[in-house]
Amino acid sequence: MPETVAVNDDYTKIVDTSDEWIRGRTGISERRVSNGEPVWYMSQKAAETAMARANVDAKDIDLVISTSVSPDYIYPSVSCVVQGKLGIGGNKTSKGAAAIDINCACAGFVYALDMAARYISTGYETILMLSGENVTKSVDYSDRSSCILFGDGAGACVIQGKEGLFGSFLASEGEGAKHIYARSHPVKNAFSPAPEASLYDGFEITEFGKMFLNGKEVYKFATRVMVEAVQKACENANITPDNLDLIIPHQANLRIMETAAQKLGQTMEKFYVNIERYGNTSSASIPICLHELAESGKLKRGSRICCVGFGAGLSYGAVVFDY
């Protein structure tokens, strides 16, 4: 996590808001914000900690999967940059390990974990997963309902082993894509420097890279699909949500997590929550939770865990596994 902290009162200098509103409506008290730390750097630091904890040498990693909505470059991938910095791979290839970035927004970690499990089932032995985010560079600081939500940070996991329970459920609702997005470069080039009209996508016209968020719509979507994703991932693993020891949800809003817990018939004791300290760190939020659980000794071998994510796309999903 970056060391710089932005507390709710800091936002009262930027927009018309209050600590009381932010805490009451979101559960957030503070977030970490990058003070120049790029995504590759935060991802690299998280990778070093994960590899040390797993006692895995960088050379033995077969594949790096990285997720981010806020990468430092359009290309190259974050996974290639970190592969190069840490000298990942090499024991089975002449140079570095395979490296892939995926963008499934805040559901990125869940999609990457599903992907990692499938690679493992086809013979890959050791996979490094990175989720690094610098969302604060793209938030719209004139929009009080969204700028207060987001923070920066990274998490990483080493994935190994074929034994144990695994089930997943992944889905998307692309018709809701217009509810949360950031545009890339405008469609213009040397031959059409100012095109009169590019094909209209139905999205509002926004500045390059800046976040647009329709919070209400994403809120409704999230409280509906979290329940479906957990139930279907459990079904695919032949268990029920009652059999889970721990549910680690994407940290977007405390009220979203409470509503999902209630609809699933589960208590909040089963849900891991740290949104009060970090806000929404997009795809990094679930691995940051896993890191805290590991650090505090609460992650026990054999724990039955469900990670559930949702976000831009709109995409969503859940994975169920035994730690």
**Which residues are catalytic, by number?**
106, 250, 280
DSSP letters spanning 167-233 = EEEEEE-GGGGGGEEEB-S-S--SS-SS-S-PPP-SSPP--BT-EEE-HHHHHHHHHHHHHHHHHHH
Candidate residues 311, 313, 318, 321; the one interacting with ligand UT7 per rule CB under 6 A: 311
Instruction: Compare residues 51 and 312 and give the one whose CB is closer to ligand UT7.
Output: 312
Does position 280 bind ligand UT7 by CB under 6 A? yes
Pair 245, 272: CB distance under 8 Å = no
Candidate residues 66, 67, 136, 253; the one interacting with ligand UT7 per rule CB under 6 A: 253
User: Least distance from C-beta 187 to ligand UT7, angstroms?
Assistant: 26
DSSP letters spanning 47-102 = HHHHHHHHT--GGG--EEEEE-SS-S-SSS-HHHHHHHHHT---SSSSSPPEEEEE
Residue span binding ligand UT7 (CB under 6 A) among the ranges 18-26, 154-162, 195-203, 299-307: 18-26
Cα end-to-end distance, the chain, whole Å: 24
Residue span binding ligand UT7 (CB under 6 A) among the ranges 68-76, 86-94, 204-212, 213-221: 213-221
Candidate residues 47, 78, 113, 218; the one interacting with ligand UT7 per rule CB under 6 A: 218
Instruction: Compare residues 145 and 303 and give the one whose CB is closer to ligand UT7.
Output: 145
Does position 26 bind ligand UT7 by CB under 6 A? yes
Candidate residues 215, 228, 235, 274; the one interacting with ligand UT7 per rule CB under 6 A: 215
Does position 314 bind ligand UT7 by CB under 6 A? no
Pair 67, 157: CB distance under 8 Å = no
Does position 21 bind ligand UT7 by CB under 6 A? yes
CA dist 110 and 318 (Å) reads 6
Does position 252 bind ligand UT7 by CB under 6 A? yes
Instruction: Compare residues 44 and 146 and give the one whose CB is closer to ligand UT7.
Output: 146
Pair 91, 82: CB distance under 8 Å = no
**Amino acid at the residue 271:** F
CA dist 110 and 116 (Å) reads 10
CA dist 67 and 253 (Å) reads 21
Does position 106 bind ligand UT7 by CB under 6 A? yes
Does position 70 bind ligand UT7 by CB under 6 A? no
Work out whether the CA dihedral 146, 149, 150, 154 comes out positive or negative: negative
Candidate residues 86, 148, 261, 275; the one interacting with ligand UT7 per rule CB under 6 A: 148
The answer to whether the bond into 76 is cis (omega within 30° of 0) is yes
Candidate residues 213, 229, 264, 293; the one interacting with ligand UT7 per rule CB under 6 A: 213
Pair 114, 317: CB distance under 8 Å = yes
Does position 257 bind ligand UT7 by CB under 6 A? no
What tokens were used for 53? 């904890």
Does position 25 bind ligand UT7 by CB under 6 A? yes
Instruction: Compare residues 47 and 275 and give the one whose CB is closer to ligand UT7.
Output: 275
Contact pattern for ligand UT7 over residues 168 through 197, marking x by CB under 6 A: ------------x-----------------
What tokens were used for 266? 């589960």
Q: Which residues bind ligand UT7 (CB under 6 A)?
A: 17, 21-22, 25-26, 106, 144-145, 148, 180, 213, 215-216, 218-219, 252-253, 280, 311
